[in-house]
Every structure is written in C-alpha cells, then in structure tokens.
Structure 1
Amino acid sequence: MMSKFPPRRLLAVAAALALVGGQASAKGGHSHPKASSDDPDQSCPLGSFHCAPRPYNYAMCRPNALLEFYDPTLSKDSSLRDTSPSYVNAQHVDSSNQTVYHFSGDVVMQRADQQLQADRVDYNDDSTDYDARGNVRYQEAGQLLAASHMKGNTDASRGVADDVRYQMLESRGNGVARQGHMLDAQHTRYSMATYSTCDVGHHVWEFRAKSISIDKANGVGVARNATMRIGKLPFLYLPYFTFPTDNRRKSGFLYPSFGKTGRAGFEVSTPYYLNLAPNYDATLDPRIYTGRGAMLAGEFRYLLPGTTGQLNAEYVPRDHGQSDGLADTQGDSRYLVNLSNTTQLWQGWQFVGSYNRASDSSYLYDYGNALSRTPVYLLSSGAAIAGSGKWWNASFGVTTYQNTNPFATDSSLPYRQLPYARYSMDVPLSRWLDAGVDAEAVMFRKTGYVEGQREDLYPYLAADFGTSAWFVRPKLAWRYTAYQLSSGYQDYGYSGLLGSGTTSPFTQASPSRSLPIVSLDSGLVFDRSTSLFGTSYTQTLEPRLYYLYVPYRNQDNLPLFNTSLMSFDYWQLFSPNQFSGADRQMNANNLTGAITSRLLDDQGVERLSASFGQIRYFTPQRVQLPTGQNTVAAATDWSGSAYVAQLDLQLSDRWRLNSAYQWSPNTRLNQMATLGLQRRIGTDGILNFSYHYRRGLLEQYSASVVYPIAGNWRLLGAWTYAPAIKTAYKIPTGTVDAMLGVEYDSCCVTLRLVDRNYVNQSYYGTVPLPPGNNTNRRDNAILFEVVFKGLGSTGGQIDPLLRRDILGYQ
C-alpha cells in the first residue's frame, strides 16, 4: 500500500545496499550505458515539453576492478541455496581424513548463486566449517567480494573475512573493510568499512564508518562514527545513525540543501524523515534564512482505506526581513498551509479537497519564488464531490481564492464559486449519432462587485459521417443561460461599484439568454507519394470547411463572472464561441475555409505540417466585451478574420522548427507571430530559440542552451527578453529572466552551479498602485548542487528549473 508514496532516499542507503550482499539482482552488465541521442529509447524527442531524467553516465568510469572473476552464468536466485547441492573443483584434493577435506590449486566451490574461489580451502564435512586462504574471491547475486582470508560455517551461515574488498554488480558501489562478520543469514557487521560508486581505488567521495551493522530481515542498518569524505576532506560526521537497507522506509536525515536569494538571504535546510507507520509518515524540515529568520516546515502523508492525502506547512515565528508589499509583515509570525485529500465515497464517486492558505499576500514573494518556481499570484482552495460513469460525469463543490501578489489588492482575484454544480453527458444513439448535454449552476461571490447565481444549459445532437478520405459532422445545440442577481445589483458596473450618478448596465434581477447553435464541419483527405532531397514521403492535402450559425442576442445586461476573450489561433477557426465561460455567446453567420498539407515518412512520422485558414463573416460580430464600468465595445463589421498560418517542420532528428502567424486584412497589421527553433548538439546538448508576439499584449524573445564544452563540462543558459510595447497592462519589460550555469559530470559525481536573475513579482493589471510601488520586482538566486551518483543529491531545486527553462533538457 505504501508503495504509492515517493521514496525517501536517506543519506547512507546506497552504502547499506553495498554491504548487505545478496539483496540486489545481478543482471550481468558492467555499468549503466551512457544516454545517446541516437537511441530513441533514451533520448528526448525534439519538441518534447517534458523529458525523462538522463540516466547516470558511468561510461567515463574505468572498468570495474573486480569483474575479472565475475561469472555471468551463475544463478541469480539466492532462494535456491537450501535445496541446491554443492560442487567443488580443485587441482589437488587430500581426503586422508574422511571428515576434513583439503582442497588446493584453483579451488572453486559453488552452490546456487554462491561461488567461492581460493588457492586453498579446508572443509569439514561433518560440521560444514570452511577455511579459505589465498586470493579468496566470492560471488553471489548482487555483489563480488575479495579477501585475504575467509572462514565460517555453511549451515549456520556464519563467517569472518579479513581485508575485504567488495563490488556491487548493478550500482557500481564498492569499498573496503578491515573485517566482515556474518553473524547469521540475516545479520552482518563490518569493521572500518568504506563505500563509494567511484572507480575502485580512485574515490572522489566515500563513506567511512568504524562499524556498520546490517539487519536484512528488518531492512535496517546502523553506522557508528561515520564520516563522508570528498577527496581526503571530511565533509559530514555522524556519530550514530540508522538507515534502510532496501526499499522499506526508515527514519533519518535527508539530504541538506543550501541556497541564496535576494529576498531571504542564505538558506540552510536539514530535513528529518519520520517513518511513523506503514500507512503514514512525516518530514520535519527546520530551516534558517539569514535575511528573515528561522522557519519550521513539515510534511505529513497518509494512506487510509479509500483515502489518500498530504499536508504541508511552513511556520516562521518572527520575520525580521524587509516588507515591500502592501501588507506590513516585518516582525510578524508568518505561515503557509497546503492540504490535499482524495476519498473514495462509493463506486464511481469521490471527494476531492484542497486547502491552500498563506498568512499574507507577500509570503510567496518573500519565501516561495526560489530557483524552481515562477511567480504565484493567487492560491486556490476547493472541495468537491465528483462522479463519473460510462457516458456521464458530474461534480458539486466550492472554489475560493487568496491573493498572493503583494502589490495588488483583492480586486484582482477571480470570483469565488460558492457553490457550483456541473453535469456532462454524451450518449451514442447509433453508430453515427450522439446526444449530450453540458450543464452547470454556479453561485458567484466577490466583494465590491455584482454577485449572483448563473445556470447554463447546453443540450446538443452531433452526427459523424465519413471514412478515412472524408468526413461530415453536423451539430445542433441549444444554449440557455439564466441569472439571479443579488440585491443591490443596480449599484454595480462591469468593473465593480459605481460612482454616484452613473447608470448600471444591469437592468434586471433575473436576466437570461436563449439561442440555437448550428454548425457543420466537413473535410477531405487526399494523399500521394512524393520525394524530397532523395527521401520518399507520403504527402496529404486536407481541405476543410466549417460553417457556424448563432443568432444575435443582446447580452449587455449580463454580468461577467468568469468570461474573457480567448486568444485567436488556428483552432479558434473551428470553435463555436470566442469567449471562455458562459457569460457571453458570440453571434455568428460564418464560414471557415482551411487547408492542411503534411509530409509523412515511411514510418508514419509527420515531418512537415502546414496549415492556412480564415473565417469569412456574413454578418457583423455584435457581441463584444465591455471596455469600462458600463460601456461595451462597438460591434465589428469585418468581412473576414485574420489570416492564420502555422508550420511545423522536422526533416531531420537534429532540427525542428515551428511557427504561427496572423495578419489582419481589417487593420492591415500583424496580429500574432511565433517562431520556435530547436537543434540538438552532439549527444548531450540542445539549443532553443523562440519569439512570441501578440499585438498590444506581449513581445518576447527567448533562448536557452545546453552546450557540451571541453571534457566533462556542460554550459547551461536561458534568457528571456521583452521589449517595451504599447499596452494598457503593466507587464515586465527588459530582461525578464536570465539563468547561467555550469555542470561537471564525472564517473561518480555531478556538480552544478546556477545563477538566476528574474522578475519575482509583477502586477498585471490596469488598477493604479499606491505611490512608490514598482510593478516589477527582481530577485537573484544562486544554488550549488552536488549529485553523488548512486546516492542522490544535496538538493532538488536545480533540476526542475532546468527542465522548465530549457526545452529538451535531460
């Protein structure tokens, strides 16, 4: 049951695994292979938003020093020992004493997965005592061991080995011990032992302990007087600690983390894991921020019958840092709480809840936006009962929000939904005909704004005719939306409370809207064989027509609870509504014409896709959003939408290009343009460039790189720049985010150093800020990370940052 929890990697887990013996399964490989971009199973395809972690690269390591006597044909099943016979080969056998046998000359003793080799072995057939001397080599499932002398008892599973050297077959873990004691089949103790995954005899880092005791039955190890060394320098000392020896969790210290940000100063975190029970655990994480004070953070996870959840909390008794936001927090206690829970109620139904709360709007600005996080402007909390069946799904719940932008007021928050109910159904009436309905009822609440209840009902009939060469998809729907506004609705405009003498656009307490929505989507698919640059392809030509009819309804007296104008793109050419939410439904008498052409290689991989389209309007677009308290934008009288074109191109496995472009014949201006270019560099590098532009809203250039340089070094970088544009919104300009780092990857250790300068908080909006408040606040963060291969790392903040900022990073 607890296997669903993410594993907690304690400080010496790999050391314990190395010294237990027989716990891991040997698979015959000498090392983990290095990831290669030519291997589709290990490389990240171009254009992927999320890439699998790069496997540990042991290709730079020397061959394992003890593998010269490894026998890959030996059994890997240790459970066969009690029932398997023993075999002995030797050049000379002295059996003059019929109880004690003296073997000499390349002695090999074998049973199941165990194999012992030595120059001389004395074996007592009655007591099963053995004494091996001279070039002793021992192999079992999971590890190899060499010693100068080994003696013990086979039946009692007791033994003592002197001058031990060991090598793990799967994890490359290796080390030495002055003496190893096998107390019984489940308990072992090593004296003056070391462990590392580096080359044998060339340990960049290692653990050293005066004694290590292993309890295989309970999966627990105990180390006394242990130090971790980097080179010859002691790095960490622990006089006594316990650790797990397998996948079972064990209480103990997790890796500490170190970092620095401009808002909080230097940070030191020393988490401690508590394995409280098989179905719940906790982590205590005391931290010190030199710029703000002490913090106690914690995590509690639980698994109960039908229920799973997690609680995270952070508490600062007294913050002595500077307060820059609208909330004055200097000298205050501060906190952050995150709770999530999922409970199965009955078949097909579950309860899903989350509670996220900060002590003030500046908390995430001061503590939360470190290397791996983007600015968070609100926290949402909610609870819902949700269910689903073969053709339906439903939910009933509430959603609330908290403002976490320190430079904005609560007016920037969305409406709270207290409560909401949603239901969707799609039932196949025949092979080609479906009937369905989308319905919701929501109570919207927001202080200082018009409030009320909204019901939206959207039944439809949809048909689908066609083959692989053509399709025709008619759809008939009806949309009914009704409101019950709260008392005093006449005092509000679209943007909040009205001033005296201003007329409200809301003229009815119970306004409604009802209209049909009719669409017909159709297309053809032609294909032919062609060639380009000597390569054979299948080329397609796919014309498409989409007709939409929605009669006009005056909706100026309807509030805007959760509706906005969606960004226009290629898929909006085939959408029945240009507005999100149910408060506005566009009127339409439109015909979309579009065409797509693709190139598919012999394996069916799409190497090129080019599309072009436009909407032709037969009637004006009269439904518009408001531009002020009670003013609605004028209707547009356009004959057609912007022309939309998009192109995706990947003619080789090293280059990928994607782009989109919009040009308006009405304003004769470019409305939108994007360009993305990605190139793979060698086996471990990637280069990205992108450009994003939307008139009046945004213009950004971005570049990122993972560039292999001399030897084992990689250069890491990302940069986002936004030139100033004319817009009504306050958005960051100049360098929005810049990151520079370097990575060193060797046989057994990886080092990363990253410096990031970024916009920590930015107020997006048109509401004026109090005097002296700058809309864009910057911060700088530096983090150093050490990855000891086979053990883990000192922190986990750099990897999420690199995956987010560098497309294709592994």
Structure 2
Amino acid sequence: MTPKLPPRRLLAVAAALALFGGQADASSPQVPPAHPTAPADQACPLGSFHCAPRPLNYAMCRPNALLEFYDPSLGRDTSLRETSPTLVQAQHVDSSNRSVYHLSGEVKLQRADQQLQAERIDYNDQNTDYDARGDVRYQDAGQLLAASSMRGNTDASRGVANDVRYQMLDARGNGTAGQGQMLDAQHTRYSQATYSTCDVGHHLWEFRAKSITINKETGVGVARNATMRLGNVPFLYLPYFSFPVDDRRKTGFLYPTIGHTSRSGYEISTPYYLNLAPNYDATLDPRYYSARGAMLAGEFRYLTPGSRGQLNVEYVPDDHGKSDGLADTKGDSRYLVKFADSTQLWKGWQFVGSYNHASDSSYLYDYGDALSHSAVYTLASNATIAGGGKWWNASFGGTIYQNVNPFVTDSSLPYKQLPYAKFSMDVPLSRWLEFGVDSSAVAFRKTGFVEGQREDLYPYLEADFGSSAWFVRPRLGYRYTAYQLDSSYRNYGYYGLLGSGATTPFDQQSPSRSLPIVSLDSGLVFDRSATLFGNSYTQTLEPRLYYLYVPYRNQNNLPLFDTRTMSFDYWQLFSTNQFSGADRQMDANNLTAALTTRLLDDGGVERVSASIGQIHYFSPQKVLGTDWVRSAYVAQLDVQLSERWRLDSAYQWSPNTRLTDLAAVQLQRRLSTDGILNFSYRYRRGLLEQYGASVVYPVSERWRLVGAWTYSVKDRESVDALAGVEYDSCCVSLRLVGRSYVNQSYYGFGPAPTGGNTNHRDNAVMFEVVFKGLGSTGGQIDPLLRRDILGYQ
C-alpha cells in the first residue's frame, strides 16, 4: 500500500536522518555525484607563456564508487522539499495507536531529493520521536548514509545511529563510524570513525579518529586522537586535526614542505593558516634549515571595499650558516619584509604602493633562490598615486631600490626616482584624427653618480585613414627633454667638447634637447582562398612601408639616468626609438619595408604567420653610432597547422657584417592531453648560444615524468637541469623534483664566490604531496615547472 501523509510529518524523519547535515544547499544548484575531470579542451594552448593550473583531477576514481544503495533516478532539487508530499511505501502499516505509526517490511519514504529506507520505522506523531531499525539507508542531493539502526527526535534535530557508513556526494568525503550522533541541526559527532576522499572501499589514505565532529555552519570537521594512514600503515599521529567539508576557507595546519638546497641544507616548513574573517586572513610558517637554523615566516592578507594588500615577513633570529657574498652574516639576525597595497582614494584615483627590504644583500641568495625562484638582485619599493579618465592617465610617486646581489656593491643599482610624475593623454579630434601627449618629470638620485631632474614632453598629432584592405597613418610629434643637474655635475665629467673632433665646449648645468619626430605608416591587405594538405584556408599578403624622420642632435652633454639600447627585433622595424628611457633619442631618416603572409582557417584562427622586413637608412645613425645603409634582415615564422604541433622562430642576418645576429627556434609537441615536449635554440651574437629541451611525459594514467635542460655552448656546460616525477591517483598527488643550475644571474656581475661554491653550481630537491580534498604543501614546485617547461599544467 502507498498512503500519502502530510508533508511535514514523516518527512521530518528523513530530514533528521541526515547525520552529516546534507551537504546540499537549497540556494545553490546541485551537480550530480560524479568525478570531475580536466577535459582535453582545457589543455593549455600551444605557445602560451602562462597556463592556468590544472584542477584537481578525479578521473582515476572509479565511476561507480558509491554506496550500493545509491539511486540515480532520485531528484536533486532541494528547493522542492517544503512543498512536496511524502510518499510512503511499506508492506505493513499499523496506526491503531493514533499517535504512533508502525511501518514494517521494506519501508521507503521519499520526498523531493530525500529517500529513507529501513526494515522497520516507528514514528510518534505527538513528540516526533522516531526509531528506524534494520538496514537503514538514507540518500539526498548531498550524501548517502547507511546504519544498522537509528533513533532520535525530529523537532530537536537529535539522533543516534549505529554502525554508520557515509559518503558526501559533492565533497567526496566518506568513511565509517561505530556510532553517529546528531547534536543539533548544525553539529554532528562520530565515534571510532574514519575519513577519506578516496573511493569507497579503496582508501589509499585515511585518518582514523576516536571522534570526528562536523560543523555545518563553519564547513569544518575536527578529528581528535587521529592517526593518518597510508594504506594500513600509520605514519602520523594527530591529537587534534581540522579539515574542510566544503569549499570554504578554514583555520588549521597546511601540509608540511620538505626540501633540500645546497646553501641552506634540509628544510622543513609547517605552515598554519588562520581564517580570521571573510576579508582578511594570515598564515604562520615556522621553518627549520639544517645549515642555518630556525626561521619564522608569516603572511597577512586583507580586502576591504576600498583597499587590498598583503604583508609577508621572514625572520631568522640567529643564522649559523656562512655566506659566499661580500658581507659576513654568520651569527646575525636576518629578515625579509614585503608589503603591497592598493587603495581607492576617490573616483578614478588610487594609491598603489609596495615596500620590499632585506636585512642584507645575501638574504635572497641564501634563502630565496632555491628551487622555485629565479635569481633576484634588486628589490624595488614604490609609492604611487595614479588616476585616469576616458582620454588621460596620470601618476605621481617615487621608487627606490635595494641591492640583493651579494657579489657587487650598490653602484650596480638603478637610479632612485624621488619623486616622479607622469601624464599621458589621447584625445580624438575627429573620426580619423587624434591628439596625444606623453610627459614625465623625474628626480634621479644615486650616491657617487651625477644627480638631477629631467622633464620629458612629447606631444603628437596622429591620423588614421583606411579600411580593411589598406591603411595610412601619418604622425607628427615633437620631443623636448630638459635637465637640471645638481651643483656637483662637473665632478662627473659633464663638461668638455661636444663629440669627437668638436671644438665647441660645453659646461651646462641645465642641458636640453628638442627635435621633431615624423613618421608615416602604410600598408595593404590582400587575401585569397588557398588549400594546404587538403584543408581550406584564407591566405593574406600584407606589404607594409614605414618611414621615420628624426633629425640628429648631439646628446653627449646629457646624462644616462635610466636609458639603455634595446635589443633589435621585428617590432624595432616600426619603432621611433631604439633606446629605452628619455635620455637618448635616436636620429633617423629611414624607410622600413616589410611583408607578412598569414594562413587563417575557417574559424579565423591564425595557423601560419610569416614576416620579413628590413630598414633602409638614407643617412648614418649618429646617435647609435652606425653608418650602415641597411639594417639586418629580420624574419619571423610561426606555424601551428594542428593542435599537436607548433613552431615559433625568429632570424636576423646582417648584410653589413654578413653574420647572423640572432636565431631562435621553439618547437612544441603535444603529448596526449596532459603532456608536452619542447625544444629550443637561442643565439645572440656575442652574448649567448643555448640549446634547451623540456618535457612533461605521461608514462601512464597515473605517472608523469618532468624534465628541463639548458646547455650553453659558450660555457660548454649545462647551466640548468631539472628532473622529476609526478604521481596522480584518485585522491593523492605526489611530486618529487630536483634541480642543478649555474647561478649566472649572480655570478655574472662580480667576482666568483669562495668556499664550497667555487663551481658556481647550486642544487635543490623538493617533495610535495597533495591529499585531495584536504589541502597541499602550498605548491612551491608549481612556479618552477611553469617557468622552465613551456605549456606546463
């Protein structure tokens, strides 16, 4: 028989039986109990320099790893509970008492997403006591629960279940308990319980605890007197351990990091996370280095309606290690402070600032440049007030630098900019004409060098004519740069003769430079249908001419505050200046001729792009110091005809020296959906010649090998070598990576280090484990692999 009862009554029994409190939230859509995977279409596109992290992959979990009574046909909409009737099925119903219902014989109660089954259920309609016995099974949108018996009171949201098996469908947690107690609607306690996110019945890891308490309000579970186990082998005793039961942040220990570096020895880190409030949190990270001693690190983050920022501090009370740098730090207390803040001041304006300071120049060399960091030899601190509107941007602030290269003095630092102001504007005057200006005023400070102020003003007028088939873009600009040098300028050689062979002396405390900059950029775009390897494409042919005129000005009387010659590449063919900064402006009477062709597939995706160009000089470039008639030929070729192969290349050949100036090749091959193979060759005449290879090789569904190697022809040695292995299973991921590298970024600046590091080589090893659903070591290996393996995910 199948009677219908009032919606509130017996359905309250089903609701009360959810000892884990129902992970489902009626306010959010529910997903079916599945094992999310990282599908192939989420693979990082070939050629990408930054790839998104891979989500936790549960593809290796058994697709049917659910408790045996799971009913896939049951509804999943929790919002229907209050309005749906309760359907009751039972072989026998005894309601002679008028207040107690006795249901027996394959009893099933169902409403909306909830279903309760048992051999017998007694329910008191007056005081809402219930007693379910014999193979009790409960299911809703968020969980499955099995018990031998259960009794309690629905109004008080209390209950006791014996011989419990549970499974959270959304959070993947599952386990067993000798007894489960629902203390109220938000709190549940289990005795003699287990917990794991592995497949039911196949726990690669789990913790067994004397008691586990679940708090639905905070989304946190707490285990007491727990033992962490791999298989059946205990490896960690936890008198108190908290873990998440949903996606919310929580206070508790993160998993430790274990590693080794050649300068600091063995390292162990045990971070503790503090979820202080929804808008700010902190992490305390005590560490120990076998070669240097103890360190206390910490991080604090905050987010308010008008401000956001982060503070990181590392403190070493007594470093008993030795340093290879110019300063002896043994026995010293050492520290590193990093602070960044962005605050909205008023509409359109904000403050952006950072403060970065180390106790000494060797700090990052000893502690920071281990496995997952590049070499850092300056720390910059700045404070800026910046604003902008529809057609303008402005900023005012200052920047200072600290030397953290232990093998050089502070003379290697860039100039401090105290203060600086910048303003730029780009105003459309009509549909085809616009007026703009770039300007800056900076005070440069550096002990032992000429100091002073510089103002740079660059207004321009630019037009844009054309259509999809052609364009003509004339531009007229005027650049004025003025200096006010400090009174000691003569001590640094800023007087004498203007150039080689000149007879006119100069002795100017306020030198200046002014000149016009005129350019004309033009091009055509032709296209036609083409077929290649049986596929249809649209081929373009894009000739381009770019004329640039800048008159010569002798600039020997101007200091070099922040200006360097930029590397010549394809985009320099269309640049108004080959110098960074405003201290030098090249002269030009040049015509660039370039030709580009592309292959676009039917979806508009660029599959092939080939470009070649050269500058013809009508007069010598006096500021750059060349009298060539032609520049180097610059060519680029990028090819990706399939989703598995990509080639990026660049080449420069000089007709003046008849030598190759630059050659670069990057070849990528996709291996399966989560593997990649890279090969590279880089050559810059007089500077470097290097071969490189990197790989993420999927050996099987569970194992991946990772590696990267860079060989310097000039140095005749491997300058960077990395090798590691990754293991992934349903609920555990492991990574072990080792790296051996020549620290050229430091040693290239000054004298070779002494002591045990005379071979310039450093080594690091790190191990990382991720117990899926509980947390990780913090992901210190990930930044290294992203940097060294193009396309790593």
Q: Shorter-chain-normalised TM-score: which range?
A: over 0.9
Residue 733 of structure 2 aligns with an amino acid whose one-letter code is T
Alpha-carbon shift at residue 26 of structure 1 (Å): 7.9
Distance change >3 Å, CA 491–CA 170, structure 1 → 2: same
CA distance in 2, matches of 1:775, 1:186: 62
Alpha-carbon shift at residue 304 of structure 1 (Å): 4.1
Residue 208 of structure 1 aligns with an amino acid whose one-letter code is R
2:781 is aligned with 1:798: yes
CA distance in 2, matches of 1:617, 1:597: 25
RMSD: 2.4
**Residues 544-570 of structure 1: CA deviation (Å, up to 9, x unaligned):** 010001011111111111111111111
2:731 is aligned with 1:748: yes
2:173 is aligned with 1:173: yes
Q: Is the 8 A contact 1:31 1:172 kept in 2?
A: no
2:694 is aligned with 1:704: yes
CA distance in 2, matches of 1:795, 1:220: 19
CA distance in 2, matches of 1:403, 1:128: 73
2:657 is aligned with 1:657: no
The residue aligned with 2:137 is 137
1:249-648 pair list within 5 angstroms: 249-493=249-493, 507-624=507-624, 635-648=625-638
If the length of structure 2 is used for normalisation, what is the TM-score? Answer: 0.92
Match of 1:777 among 760, 765, 782: 760
Q: How many residues align?
A: 766
Residue 662 of structure 2 aligns with an amino acid whose one-letter code is M
CA distance in 2, matches of 1:28, 1:510: 71
2:720 is aligned with 1:737: yes
Alpha-carbon shift at residue 342 of structure 1 (Å): 1.5
Match of 1:670 among 660, 664, 687: 660
CA distance in 2, matches of 1:80, 1:291: 62
Match of 2:683 among 688, 693, 718: 693
The residue aligned with 2:13 is none
Local SS of the residue matching 2:118: strand
Local SS of the residue matching 1:488: helix
Distance change >3 Å, CA 552–CA 455, structure 1 → 2: same
Moved more, 131-140 or 413-422: 131-140
Alpha-carbon shift at residue 711 of structure 1 (Å): 5.4
Local SS of the residue matching 1:275: strand
The residue aligned with 2:497 is none
Alpha-carbon shift at residue 317 of structure 1 (Å): 0.9
**Residues 612-658 of structure 1: CA deviation (Å, up to 9, x unaligned):** 1100000100003xxxxxxxxxx311111000110000111110001
2:121 is aligned with 1:118: no
Match of 1:716 among 683, 706, 724: 706
Gaps of 5+ in 1: 1-16, 495-502, 625-634, 725-731
Alpha-carbon shift at residue 90 of structure 1 (Å): 2.5
Q: Is the 8 A contact 2:264 2:292 kept in 1?
A: yes
Alpha-carbon shift at residue 777 of structure 1 (Å): 2.8
Distance change >3 Å, CA 564–CA 621, structure 1 → 2: same
Distance change >3 Å, CA 304–CA 62, structure 1 → 2: closer
Q: Is the 8 A contact 2:35 2:61 kept in 1?
A: no
CA distance in 2, matches of 1:351, 1:147: 59
Q: Is the 8 A contact 2:148 2:163 kept in 1?
A: yes
Q: Is the 8 A contact 1:426 1:437 kept in 2?
A: yes
Alpha-carbon shift at residue 75 of structure 1 (Å): 4.4
Residue 660 of structure 1 aligns with an amino acid whose one-letter code is A
CA distance in 2, matches of 1:345, 1:420: 19
Q: Is the 8 A contact 2:209 2:227 kept in 1?
A: yes
CA distance in 1, matches of 2:405, 2:387: 34
Local SS of the residue matching 1:801: helix
2:23 is aligned with 1:22: yes
Query: Percentage identity across aligned positions?
Result: 77
Alpha-carbon shift at residue 807 of structure 1 (Å): 1.0
The residue aligned with 1:727 is none
Local SS of the residue matching 2:447: coil
CA distance in 2, matches of 1:772, 1:173: 53
Distance change >3 Å, CA 803–CA 263, structure 1 → 2: same
CA distance in 2, matches of 1:29, 1:279: 31
Distance change >3 Å, CA 766–CA 736, structure 1 → 2: closer
Q: Is the 8 A contact 1:617 1:639 kept in 2?
A: yes
Local SS of the residue matching 2:760: strand
Local SS of the residue matching 2:372: coil
Local SS of the residue matching 1:69: coil
The residue aligned with 1:31 is 34
Distance change >3 Å, CA 764–CA 449, structure 1 → 2: farther
Match of 1:762 among 735, 738, 745: 745
Local SS of the residue matching 1:762: helix
Q: Is the 8 A contact 1:490 1:504 kept in 2?
A: no
CA distance in 1, matches of 2:52, 2:309: 26
Residue 232 of structure 2 aligns with an amino acid whose one-letter code is K
Distance change >3 Å, CA 162–CA 767, structure 1 → 2: closer
Distance change >3 Å, CA 432–CA 554, structure 1 → 2: same
Distance change >3 Å, CA 323–CA 99, structure 1 → 2: same
Alpha-carbon shift at residue 795 of structure 1 (Å): 3.9
